[in-house]
Chain A
């Protein structure tokens, strides 16, 4: 399960990335860590790079996408909490843990798909999928996902 967790966590730092090279990620908060920039020199430190990314993210991203990102980071938090609890308390009703964890992972992935499809920059890739259609697909996928999870959790 380790790669999955890392991947999900890593992918979730999309919004507010504060580090890039380590895999053991802390839970990304949706609030930026304010680091006072000392000087705008040419050779940027990683910190400044991160701040730059954060700035451009805040400026460029439309409101709707930010909303999606907040939801995604919430999902990551929930998933990590579940995983930590599973490690601490054992996985006795394993199907319950699995259905809960896959619900978060699956919902995260579906939301990421929605975010990708509704992104303006990917217009060329998805010429047959309008944003409304993408949302309808998202609802369809989520319904199936929750049906299976509820069925699996017993």
Chain B
């Protein structure tokens, strides 16, 4: 870090004011850029909620706005997880909805009635401006350089790693959580620097807010204790550390326990034990420091240190014992899979089935962080050079977040803030070094300069008089050409960074998954709107309480757009229920029909992309359904049966009989041959020719198929009037003659009535 800030422009007190004005203007422009770059999807398509999870958040927000806070707090939702329902108030993080609700009511109070949907759509861009500001404050705590904070703010404002989760319409928890994360860290750094209980309490309040907003609060809960633990191990324990941490822990833990979804977890689960342990350790260390100051003898101090170690080891042993005996809950699968990276795939397929839970590839780093990723290590190295308490935090955060982002794609989000900060530290250091126009004067040996005249002649004489090797060389780069070239290169990189961010945002992260866009040959845009077409059909043409069975990906969207009860949704809290749906989808009709009857299913919805080449369809997700069902009923559903002898997963003529009999296959390809001339049916996703004769459905009938065949909805038939099973009834209706039974009677069965 550059200790002495050099300000070539605007010196003096008026300069200070101008600098302040400049800072305000720059920050406003950064906020503007952050908001503007997130509006691609709104301008191109329309102002709607994207993806899957945000639909539930949107629905919950609407409920909050229309029914008030207390109803929302104990809301029992009977339109999801059909036979079970969901205690929504106790199973969600209410921070996001409450924030939107507050904004909604505040705007109404200002007589600006804005539709709640628009508030939800534009919440993430609005908060991204605040995130940039919080990053500015955080970085200013790290470095004295005048440019570091502003650089970090602009990086944070437009870095694609953060935009990916916060474009307009992505109304997810991360929309406000990242702002709260960075701001909590800023308050923490402030608290530990000043040793102030006030900042510690503020940090605890914002930590409580963060807990109410996102499940990722566990990251803070473990990062701050780790920071303190590292400080204690480095021998940097000071009263400031004690005051700030203990205030934060005592208030923050209580604050987090107010959220019903968190409840007693902070003292009952392994994820929170590090914070408690460090809290205990700080009490010990503080006490020992206190006693040591009053005791003269040296041995006694060593004794005390031994005492601390013994107590620490005993507590650690106690913690292990409690965890083993089950008093303290072990790590949950989602967190445990961060350590044991193969765990989820083997034991909990539903975690592994989410695409965001895959490890990150290298290109993703360059794609999401462009030049920041190679400035990042340099910034961390610079923190090592000047290792104060707050720099230790940056180092700890950087190491931890790098590891986690390597394990899971979605955790790139927690890495982005620290990458922006570290990169800004490195870059501001470079700029501070090369942007000074002052060069130190050439040292001239005092013996030769007598009258202080420094014209060329005396200089030359001086140079000739002393030995060349005796001259003190002036180390450094002072030529204005070198400075300009370095600064020019850096400026170019920054401009390219802006271009890259805009390009990535525009092309990769600004497409709502609800509407699919494609290009016509003449370059005009063609919108494929099958999802909403089908959901709207459900909304208008089915009973108010018709139960829809679909794979869990679409649960939230059906609840949000079609407004119909579903069996499973994206909140995967009950694996068995999901496995039930998986079993119904992957079994023969005779097996599925009773399951659907038992769950009072009226309609079954499948997503099929074979006609359009839409690859995210249910046939491609089918193996996960099979795996999840197999986890519960290993002898009824077997993954092996869906592969051919050679181990291929096929849907054409070579598909296995189990595959062809499964309900999912039949519903996807039902009547598909009728679109093509005989014998030329093509599946454009799998790229194979479909068999001549399509599947036959007996227990369900086609109710609706969207324009491009992306969504197909089937109605579950009622029981047969005469009591036949559906297969024979259907074959009778088709007019298949019964084989002449040669007056042969089957084996008689006793009628029991």
Contacts and interface: CB of A to CB of B under 8 A. Distances in A.
B267 A109 contact: no
Contact of A137 (B196, B204, B249): B196
Given A10-B283, A144-B205, A152-B254, A137 B314 contact: no
A11 B250 contact: no
Nearest to B255: A148
Nearest to A116: B239
B30 to A, nearest CB: 29
B677 interface: no
Given A6-B311, A10-B283, A112 B294 contact: no
A144 B282 CA distance: 22
B279 to A, nearest CB: 7
A47 interface: no
Contact of A98 (B255, B264, B314, B318): B264
B197 A137 contact: yes
A102 B253 contact: yes
B220 interface: no
A3 B315 contact: yes
A57 B303 CA distance: 20
A7 B242 contact: no
B304 to A, nearest CB: 7
Contacts of A57: 294
B284 A10 contact: yes
A131 interface: no
Interface stretch (B285-293, B453-461, B625-633, B642-650): B285-293
Interface stretch (A13-21, A32-40, A80-88): A13-21
Interface string A131-154: 001101110110011001101100
Contact of B280 (A4, A99, A114, A133): A4
A15 B290 CA distance: 10
B647 to A, nearest CB: 53
A117 interface: yes
Contacts of B194: 126, 128-129
Interface string A32-69: 00000000000010000100010011001000000000
B293 A121 contact: yes
Contact of A113 (B246, B315, B318): B246
Given A3-B318, A4-B279, A113-B243, A10 B311 contact: yes
Interface in B242-266: 242-243, 246-247, 249-251, 253-255, 257-258, 264
Contact of B284 (A7, A94, A121): A7
B319 A145 contact: no
A112 B242 contact: yes
Contacts of A23: 311, 314
A55 B242 CA distance: 26
A105 interface: yes
Contact of B307 (A1, A20, A112, A144): A20
A8 B283 contact: yes
Contact of B251 (A49, A126, A144): A144
Given A2-B318, A129-B195, A116 B242 contact: yes
A11 B255 CA distance: 24
A126 B257 CA distance: 31
A119 B289 CA distance: 14
Give the interface size class of chain B. 35 or more
Contact of A53 (B281, B295, B318): B295
B303 A145 contact: no
A125 B238 contact: yes
Interface in B64-115: none
Report which residue of A7, A136, A151 has the largest number of chain B beta carbons within 10 angstroms of its beta carbon: A7
Given A3-B280, A148-B255, A113 B197 contact: yes
Contacts of A11: 283-284, 286-287
B250 A102 contact: yes
A110 B253 contact: no
A110 B281 CA distance: 16
Given A102-B250, A106-B250, A140-B201, A14 B291 contact: yes
A26 interface: no
Contacts of B250: 102, 105-106, 109-110, 145
Contact of A49 (B240, B258, B300): B300
A119 B293 CA distance: 13
Contacts of B201: 137, 140-141, 144
Contacts of B287: 10-11, 13-14
Contacts of A134: 197
B216 interface: no
Contacts of A125: 195, 238-240
B345 to A, nearest CB: 36
A78 B300 CA distance: 30
B196 A129 contact: yes
Nearest to B239: A116
Nearest to A122: B239
Interface of A: 1-4, 6-8, 10-11, 13-14, 17, 20-21, 23, 44, 49, 53, 56-57, 60, 94-95, 98-99, 102, 105-106, 109-110, 112-114, 116-117, 119, 121-122, 125-126, 128-129, 133-134, 136-138, 140-141, 144-145, 148-149, 151-152
27 contacts: A3-B277, A4-B279, A6-B280, A6-B311, A7-B280, A7-B282, A7-B284, A13-B287, A20-B303, A20-B307, A57-B294, A60-B294, A102-B254, A106-B250, A110-B197, A110-B247, A112-B286, A113-B242, A114-B197, A117-B197, A117-B243, A125-B238, A133-B198, A137-B198, A141-B198, A148-B254, A152-B257
Given A3-B315, A7-B283, A94-B264, 11 more contacts: A11-B286, A14-B290, A23-B311, A53-B291, A109-B247, A110-B197, A110-B246, A125-B238, A144-B205, A145-B254, A148-B257
User: Which 4 A-B pairs rank lowest in CB-CB distance, beginning with the nearest?
Assistant: A3-B315, A7-B283, A106-B250, A7-B280
Interface of B: 194-198, 200-201, 204-205, 238-240, 242-243, 246-247, 249-251, 253-255, 257-258, 264, 267, 276-277, 279-284, 286-287, 290-291, 293-295, 297, 300, 303-304, 307, 311, 314-315, 318-319
